[in-house]
Amino acid sequence: MPGSDDATGPLGRLERDGLIRAEAERYRTTRRWQGAMARAAYRLLRAGEESTDLRVPIACALVEIYGADCPDAELASLVDALAPIEAAELAPSATASSRPSG
């Protein structure tokens, strides 16, 4: 849940950098982040990557944004912060699955 404790940690950085935004009771990804993830997924598919670990494209997208000089520990903390947010964004919502197929 978004809160003031997040202001100085990885979530605060991701929000300040325009990759996530607080919305109601949770964080949501921004268009900037979604574009970076799409490019990372495309590159990984073209390279033949078969991993289903969501952290792989997240790390690739973060390296695209922050550069290869981002320290490993910092990159790992950003991946850990983004993984549950991205997983929630990718999960089908209960309301979408309960809509009539008309």
The 10s digit of each residue's pLDDT in 39-81 is 999 999 999 988 889 999 999 999 999 999 999 999 999 999 9
Secondary structure of residue 29 in the 3-state scheme: strand
pLDDT digits 0-9 by tens, 5-50: 567 899 999 999 999 999 988 999 999 999 999 999 999 999 998 8
Q: Is 37 exposed, middle or buried (0-12, 13-18, 19+ CB in 10 A)?
A: buried
Whether the model pTM is above 0.85? no
The residue ranges of every structural domain in the chain are 4-86
